[in-house]
Chain A
């Protein structure tokens, strides 16, 4: 009898958990058995706390990421720079996404994974070659929202979008240490 109750409670718990998680995560598995999640391209709701993947779209060119003492930075919600152990070097312009310089998506915890996944970015003008820069951040609420870099970043190969279709690119996020 006791076991039936435990199994029942566990089932209810699992159903509730899956209902919450499936709001923006679609579990999937790859051929090599790697755990993977599909992030459905929903940008962050205001008040989101947790891991973030920040997508920036650049025109194709010489784009590289290097460890540096002169960090690149963004302004966070309070107008304070978010310092990183790396700098994104580019000889091209950053292209706005939906009127913003970058788009944030719920991301993985670099310490516990998942270690692969995908994000879909819509509304990109075709006819131009681009590259994607992906960066990992963490945002939490203290008295106000604080964002810091987990110092994982990567740049994609060049790609050209096709009108009305979706193309794929790969980005490997590398860890950068303070040099």
Chain B
């Protein structure tokens, strides 16, 4: 009995001393065109203004479509033909932690400082990670443009580099840009849905899908003598 009481007291003490992580949310502030989200294991559902997208969900934008998400005091503009998963949204011990996985596409993030709160904002792609604390930047998984503040870009090898405002930088990437997909769709009269983007993220896969041969270019270069 005495042992059980000690155990219960210990559990209560631990529960009181370890601060609980309060979950924040990503709220759809505005959107245009076709914007859908999918909760883990669920079906794709159209978003609506004011909708709170849960942690673990994936958001997808179609052609000429865009969504603006409010995450705490930060704003995330999800550009056309983007697929991004919300891995973590939590406030813990005075830190707002946002972890997003950008599978394909481009986002513009404005991460704002909040009085008394630290921001830990990470945007990860298959090839690199942009980690920020109070800044504004645009990122598509391998092209990073820093508009304000300082962004740490971590490449696939875990090497980190601080990128200041005004600098655009590229790390290794593997994606087909949305503009290429759109132009090919018009050229060959096919419809490439947002759900197919992941499977078509290489030139050879895209050429196979469209049933076309690739071409070559000979670049004749000249240097001043």
Q: Which A residues lie within 8 Å of B28 (CB)?
A: none
| Cβ contacts B137-161/A at 8 Å (1 or 0 each) | 0001011000000000111010111
Contact status B161-A128, CB under 8 Å:
no
On chain B, the residues within 8 Å of A118 by CB distance are 218-221
Instruction: Give the Cβ gap from B154 to chain A, nearest Cβ, in Å.
Output: 8
Distance of A28 from chain B, by nearest CB (Å): 12
* A127 and B187 contacting across the interface, CB-CB below 8 Å: yes
Q: Contacts of B17 on A, CB cut-off 8 Å? A: none
| Chain A residues with CB under 8 A of B218 | 118-121, 166-169
Tell me, rounded to whole Å, the shortest Cβ–Cβ distance linking A115 to chain B: 5
Q: Once the chains bind, are B174 and A99 in contact (CB under 8 Å)? A: yes
* Chain A residue with the shortest CB-CB distance to B187: A127
Task: Specify which of A117, A136, A154, A163 is in contact with B215 (CB 8 Å cutoff).
Answer: A163
User: If A98-B203, A99-B202, A164-B213 touch, does A170 touch B179 (CB 8 Å cutoff)?
Assistant: no
Instruction: Give Cα A40 to B171, complex, Å.
Output: 26
Residues of B within 8 A of A164 (CB): 213, 215
Chain A residues positioned under 8 Å from B179 (CB to CB):
59, 92-93
Partner of A174, one of B155, B174, B187, B224: B224
* Bound: A113/B222 CA distance, A: 10
Report the stretch among B57-65, B70-78, B84-92, B204-212 that lies at the interface. B204-212
Residues on B with C-beta less than 8 A from A70 are 166-167
| Total cross-chain contacts (CB, 8 A) | 190
Please report the C-alpha to C-alpha distance between residue A70 and residue B146 in the assembled complex, in whole angstroms.
Answer: 11
Q: Shortest beta-carbon distance, A87 to chain B, in Å?
A: 7
Alpha-carbon separation in the docked complex, A87 to B217 (Å): 24
Q: Which of A32-88 contact B (CB under 8 A)?
A: 53, 55, 59, 70-75, 78-81, 87
Would you give the shortest CB distance from B10 to chain A, in whole angstroms?
Answer: 45
- B175 contacts across to A, CB distance below 8 A: 96
Tell me whether B173 and A116 are in contact (CB under 8 A): no
Task: Say yes or no: A162-B215 contact (C-beta < 8 A), given A96-B175, A101-B172, A169-B220.
Answer: yes
Q: Mark interface residues in A148-179 (1 if CB within 8 Å of B CB, else 0).
A: 00001010100101111111111111110000
B83–chain A nearest beta-carbon distance, Å: 16
Let me know if A75 and B169 touch, CB within 8 A.
yes
A94 on the B face (CB < 8 A): yes
What's the Cα separation between A53 and B163 when bound, in Å?
25
| Residue from A79, A100, A123, A171 in contact with B204 in the complex, judged by beta carbons closer than 8 Å | A123
Q: State A171–B207 Cα separation when bound (angstroms).
A: 27
A117→B221 contact, CB < 8 A: yes
Give the residues in chain B near A162, CB-CB below 8 Å: 215
Within B98-152, the residues touching A (CB, 8 Å) are 140, 142-143
Let me know if A125 and B219 touch, CB within 8 A.
Answer: no
Q: With both chains docked as a complex, state the minimum distance between the C-beta of A102 and any C-beta of chain B, in angstroms.
A: 8
Q: Nearest chain A CB to B7's CB is how many angstroms away?
A: 49
State the Cβ distance, B162 to closest chain A Cβ, in Å.
9
B22 to chain A, nearest CB (A): 35
Which listed residue, A115, A116, A125, touches B180 by the CB 8 Å rule? A125
| Distance A4 CA – B223 CA, assembled complex (angstroms) | 40
Interface residues of A in 105-160 (CB under 8 A from B): 108, 110, 113-128, 130, 132, 134, 136, 152, 154, 156, 159
Which residues of A are at the interface with B, using a C-beta cutoff of 8 A? 53, 55, 59, 70-75, 78-81, 87, 92-96, 98-102, 108, 110, 113-128, 130, 132, 134, 136, 152, 154, 156, 159, 161-175
10 CB < 8 A contacts A-B = A79-B160, A93-B180, A113-B223, A123-B216, A126-B215, A127-B188, A166-B216, A167-B218, A169-B219, A171-B220
Q: Which residues of B contact A (CB under 8 A)?
A: 140, 142-143, 153-155, 157, 159-161, 163, 166-180, 183-184, 187-188, 202-204, 206-207, 210, 212-225
